Amino acid sequence: MTNTAFPALPATIETALTERGYEVATPVQAEVLRPEAEGRDLVVSAQTGSGKTVAFGLAMVPQLLDDAGKIGFVQTPRALVITPTRELALQVSRELEWLYARTGARVATCVGGMNPSAERKVLQSGPAIVVGTPGRLRDHFERGALNLSQLAVAVLDEADEMLDMGFREELEAILDGTPDGRRTLLFSATMPRPIEALARRYQHNALRIATISEGRGHGDIAYQAVTVSPPEVENAVVNLLRFHEAETAILFCATREKVRHLHATLQERGFAVVALSGEHSQQERNQALQALRDGRARVCVATDVAARGIDLPTLSLVVHVEIPRDAETLQHRSGRTGRAGRKGVAVLIVPFSARRRVEAMLGRAQINAEWQDVPDREAIAMRDRERLLGKLLAPTEFDDADRELAQRLLAERSAEDIAAMLVHAHRSRMPEPEDLIANTPQARAEAQKERHRPGFEDTVWFRMDIGRSQNADPRWLLPLICRRGHITRNEIGAIRIGQAETFFQIPRTIADKYAAAAARTAEADGPEEALLIERSEAGPREVARSNRQRRPSRSSADNAFVKAKPPGRNFAGKPHAARPGKPGPHKHKRGPKQP
């Protein structure tokens, strides 16, 4: 899709767009302004940074403005925009304020971390547009401060992220309190099933608009994947930062602890770095983001949730230090760069053993990533030379004081020495690259060996004739394995649970002792003791086959074990926990089938 001219709009809106330098509409803006989209509910797949805030701001115009392009006095909000994070809500508010500046429409913002009393006063003053986060908006709504009885338009911005963050209940509570005739605009970078279900429930005859290119997660992002030995992930981060020397970069980690550790490591190495995670206050977040915007910091280490809604114009590098949990998270993380027509790079750091999993994830996201080695010292030095030459040879204006100093230097040293001193001074300010193990088959084999715990270099696989079909779970299997073999949990290696059977590792040095103990305890009373435990020559390779090809017929011991537990409970005798992501606590796993 290419940019097109804006269709006819009220003069107040056209003037605002012209003053901001908007001459043509982006694809998403053009799509929501098509005649067939006017007045209809919309489900829009639009990448972050594609101009979607202005897009839904323009889409709301017919519901908010009169023929003169103005909005009269309103007692209750006419438009509601819900966003996943405070930063995104504030950004959306700023965009809508300039877009509607000449219409008389006022914009109110309601987000967590701000004074709720002050927000309630603003809501009572009659804003036409309210922008906020789900939790704070629901709080105002339930307290009666947010009156939605006259709402004409509801916008869910980055709806997939809001559902990922667990805001389903808040969204439903807010939307259930809006008039049936209101227009609902749903914007989302991805369209998983929960989003489709939300659309079916709250929209009528919705028009589906997709502006994300098929076959690519984002047209302005170059995806790369580098394979490393697991202990060298942090060294790979250092070399990637030094190789790209991005004006602003974000490093994504999975946990607060990893953010804290990597932030401290990079600070010690001399990088100008800030951190964002759930343990930081709103003031600390604001300070970190301001440091990135004004150039005092160039690197941000963040968790997925903490970085949502961040818009940094200079961000050109995203590094996935820890592998995203799914394809949607990969796209959301990477979407922080390559925004508004700018180019960006997204790099996944992949331990040797995780390559197949990452390849499958990239396939689901329809992303073609270039697999590379981590840049080494030589590659970084070559890039440094190119950057330095470009910087020193760029046109520069000098004053008399600069020329006088240059003449004094030339009087003391040769031109070649002075140039070498400049190069040395430039390099001394930059962190040193790391030496990494070469990505060879031997290195990958060694890394695989290092993954084993000490004492588990040589193990024997044991088999139990029980699996997922009987609700086998490591939480109760582990104490059972220990009790049957008279060992501790520290003497058990990997556990692999298949559909029909379970395999576990025992060090070879105690394998005979364990087998004998398991045979003796099988003679005791009780359904758990009657379970078969035996050595397995094939090991867990049989797990995949059993998952695909057969459903086990239970032995008499299995039948006794199943009968000992009531339906709807697991083998530990406890009720099943509700499945994550399913509504209501009543959605339990089915209990084991009775024979």
At 310-321, the pLDDT tens digits run: 778 889 999 999
> 103: left (phi > 0), else alpha (psi -120 to 50), else beta?
alpha
Identify which of 157-161, 177-181, 213-217 has the greatest average pLDDT.
177-181
User: How many other β-carbons are positioned within 10 Å of the β-carbon of residue 531?
Assistant: 23
Helices (H), 245-276: 256-269
The residue extents of the domains of the chain are 4-210, 221-376, 459-563
**E strands, 166-295, in order:** 183-188, 207-210, 221-228, 248-253, 273-276
Query: Rounded distance, CA 219 to CA 214, Å?
Result: 9
Question: Which of 17, 24, 93, 47 shows the shortest CA–CA distance to 339?
Answer: 47
Q: 474-499 in b/e burial notation, b at 16+ Cβ within 10 A?
A: eebbeebbeebbebeeebbeebbbbb
Asked whether the whole model's pTM tops 0.75, one would answer no
Order of all β-strands in the sheet with 344-351: 273-276, 299-303, 248-253, 315-320, 344-351, 221-228, 370-372
More reliable by pLDDT, 543 or 92: 92
Is residue 130 within 8 Å of 77, Cβ to Cβ? yes
Q: Is the dihedral of CA 356, 358, 364, 370 positive or negative?
A: negative
Residue 451's pLDDT is what?
Answer: 56
Query: Rounded distance, CA 191 to CA 306, Å?
Result: 22
**Side chain identity, residue 295:** G
Q: Is 364 exposed, middle or buried (0-12, 13-18, 19+ CB in 10 A)?
A: exposed
Is residue 348 within 8 Å of 224, Cβ to Cβ? yes
Assess whether pLDDT exceeds 80 at residue 186.
yes
Lowest mean pLDDT among 161-170, 293-302, 372-381, 583-592: 583-592
Pick the CATH number of 221-376 from 1.10.10.60, 3.40.630.10, 3.40.50.300, 2.40.40.20: 3.40.50.300
Beta bridge partners of 461: 505
Average pLDDT over residues 250-261: 91
More reliable by pLDDT, 342 or 54: 54
Give the DSSP H/E element, type plus range, for residue 356.
helix 355-364
pLDDT range class, residue 549, cuts 50, 70, 90: very low
Residue 591's pLDDT is what?
Answer: 44
Average pLDDT over residues 207-220: 65
DSSP state of 11: H
Query: Rounded distance, CA 418 to CA 224, Å?
Result: 39
Query: Rounded distance, CA 186 to CA 45, Å?
Result: 9
Residue 178's pLDDT is what?
Answer: 94
Question: Which of 351, 347, 350, 280 shows the shortest CA–CA distance to 316?
Answer: 347
Average pLDDT over residues 12-32: 89
Taking only the tens place, the pLDDT of each residue in 396-425 is 787 888 888 888 888 888 888 888 888 777
Average pLDDT over residues 199-213: 84
424: which residues sit within 8 A by CB, 6+ positions away? Answer: none
Residue 283's pLDDT is what?
Answer: 83
Superfamily of domain 459-563: RRM (RNA recognition motif) domain (3.30.70.330)
> 581: left (phi > 0), else alpha (psi -120 to 50), else beta?
left
Query: Rounded distance, CA 445 to CA 253, Å?
Result: 26
**Side chain identity, residue 249:** A
Residue 337's pLDDT is what?
Answer: 85
Residue 86's pLDDT is what?
Answer: 85
Residue 309's pLDDT is what?
Answer: 65
Is residue 205 within 8 Å of 42, Cβ to Cβ? no
CA angle 582, 584, 585 (to 5 degrees): 105
- Is there a shared CATH topology between the 4-210 domain and the 221-376 domain? yes
Q: Domain 4-210: which CATH class?
A: alpha beta
Lowest mean pLDDT among 80-84, 211-215, 419-423, 543-547: 543-547
Identify which of 144-148, 266-270, 327-331, 445-449 has the greatest average pLDDT.
144-148
**Side chain identity, residue 178:** T
531: which residues sit within 8 A by CB, 6+ positions away? Answer: 464, 465, 466, 480, 484, 522, 557, 558, 561
Residue 444's pLDDT is what?
Answer: 63
Residue 252's pLDDT is what?
Answer: 94
Residue 233's pLDDT is what?
Answer: 92
Lowest mean pLDDT among 157-171, 269-283, 300-314, 541-555: 541-555
Taking only the tens place, the pLDDT of each residue in 63-79 is 999 888 898 788 899 99
